[in-house]
Structure formats: C-alpha cells, structure tokens
Structure 1
Amino acid sequence: MSLSPVLVVEDSDEDYQATLWAMQKLGRSDLLERCTDGDDALDRLSDRARPWPKLVLLDLNMPGTDGREVLAFIRSTPFLRPLPVVILSTSASERDVNTCYDLGANAYLLKPVNFTQYTEQLRVTLDFWLGLAQLPEPVEST
C-alpha cells in the first residue's frame, strides 16, 4: 500500500516553502506532493496509477488553469469527487469564496501573511482533516 500524500497545488515557490517550513515547525511527517500549476494538478489527479491524495490544498489564483477549474474538474470526475479540497488563497473576495463553495470546496481559507499565523492555520487544518475527519477511501476503478 502506498502512502497517500497531501497534494499541494501552489505556483508560488515562496508559499510552498512556507508550507514546508510550517510542516517542519509542527513536527508533521505527512508526505507532501506539489503541483506547480493547474495543468500539472489535472494531470496528477487523472493518473490513477499514483497514490490517491488524502487532502488537496489548492491555491486559487494561478496562471493558466486556475484553482477554480481544478476544483470543478475534481467535483465533476466521479473517482475524484470524494477528495477533500481546502482552498488556500490570498483573495478575500466574496465572489471567490461563494464560487468555490458552489463548486464544492470543503473549506476556504485566507493565506495569512504572518508565518506564525500561517503555521497555526495549517496545524488546525491538518489536525482536522487528517486527525478528526473520517476521510473517504479511494473509489476503485470500474
């Protein structure tokens, strides 16, 4: 059985590095897998030979295929639909928040600028999704 990664879809090297540092500071050993853009995420999520992610942390505003399109793809693809998707965005736009929930996001979080706040936000998010929530098993191929 392969380890299920937390899939981080993030185009910003700085934001991804902050996630790595926060994970280290929190003492978390979860396997992280990064996609640097929406197209990479679509390819990764479509590859059924790869381990099913246990959680998707999805940046919203990326060049090309953005987070909204990735989220719509996940929710329209039967074997991906159960995946928990948490949006991490700098956008506080009510329109963005509403659109993401309409598309089926499980949560929408603002990326704090302060590293200590980001670390705490990541701790709470991972504690909930990977510790408390009962997550779905991958849907088998038919």
Structure 2
Amino acid sequence: MKKIPILIADDDEDDRFLIKAAFEECGIEMPLVFVQDGLELMQYLKNQGEYANTIMYPLPSLILMDLNMPKKDGRESIHEIRSTAFLRKIPIIVLSTSNAPNDIKICYELGANSFITKPSSFEGLVDTIKGLKKFWFEIAILP
C-alpha cells in the first residue's frame, strides 16, 4: 500500500477518535489526516491557509467524510470536489449516521463512490474499516 494519506472529514471528536482507533485495529498504516468540517476539507484539498504546503499536505488517496458537518456539509463538499478538475479522481466514501434514502440518492448523484451508515458499535466500525481496507487498498486500483 502506498503511504498517501486518507483524508477524514468529521466534526465529531468522539467519531474521529473511534475512526482512528478502528484504522489502527485493522493495521492500516497509511497516514490519516483529520479535518473538522467541509470548509476545512476544501482548504486542505486546495492547499489553502494552513494547508498551503503541498509536501506536508499532499492530495489524499481517499476521502472519508461525514455527511452532516458545519460550515459546509458533505453534499456541498462532494459537489465542489467533483466540480474541480484536479480533485475529481479522488474516491469519496460517505460515512454517516444517516440511512435516509434521499441522502444516499443525493450523494451518489453528486458523485460519491460509496455511502456507508456508521455502525453503532466499535466492533461494527472495525468490521466496516476492514471492508474498506479490503476493497479500496487490496482489490481496487487507485489512481
């Protein structure tokens, strides 16, 4: 596996902690970069503000994002990423507490590659991350 970072956008501090722990539990050694909202996500991707150093903040191999975030939600972020030529190729996985059919439909229409409802237990989250690891880093070929 390449050492290109996975960019994770989630406004909930507890969820960020659990996601990090689940990645560690699964033995994924890729660097994880966390941002707290859609605005910070776009600043990272466009190397703006504190993320201006492209060596320290390279484009991620994958974006894992919550749907309902402050400042700019996941829907707006997906739309902006897919509307920006140099960002279009980055896979986007929505990891949300929502399982509303309309949320799922909109995310796929906007260009998300996958939509996963956050599991309610840590064990479930570990299983989800194991599945992500298997598909995105062992089966799929990333650009």
The verdict on a shared fold, with TM-score over 0.5 as the criterion, is yes
Once the two structures are TM-superposed, the CA of residue 3 in structure 1 deviates from its matched residue by 4.0
Which whole-Å CA distance do the structure 1 matches of 2:69 and 2:122 have between them?
A: 21
Q: Which runs of 5+ in 1 are unaligned?
A: 137-142
Which whole-Å CA distance do the structure 1 matches of 2:99 and 2:138 have between them?
A: 27
Q: Which residue of 2 aligns with 1:63?
A: 70
The yes-or-no answer on 1:41 pairing with 2:41 is: yes
Query: Residues 3 and 51 of structure 1 are in contact (CA less than 8 Å); yes or no, is this contact kept in structure 2?
Result: no
Deviations 1:91-139 (A, max 9, x none): 1111100000000000000000111011001111122112211111xxx
How many residue pairs match? The answer is 135
Where do residues 35-114 of structure 1 align in structure 2 (5 Å cutoff)?
35-47=35-47, 49=54, 50-114=57-121
Percent identity at matched positions?
A: 37
SS of 1:79's partner is: helix
Which whole-Å CA distance do the structure 2 matches of 1:126 and 1:13 have between them?
A: 22
Once the two structures are TM-superposed, the CA of residue 71 in structure 1 deviates from its matched residue by 0.5
RMSD, aligned CA: 1.4
Normalising by the residue count of structure 2, what TM-score does the alignment of the two structures yield?
0.90
SS of 2:137's partner is: helix
Which whole-Å CA distance do the structure 2 matches of 1:122 and 1:90 have between them?
A: 15
SS of 2:94's partner is: strand
Query: Residues 68 and 74 of structure 2 are in contact (CA less than 8 Å); yes or no, is this contact kept in structure 1?
Result: yes
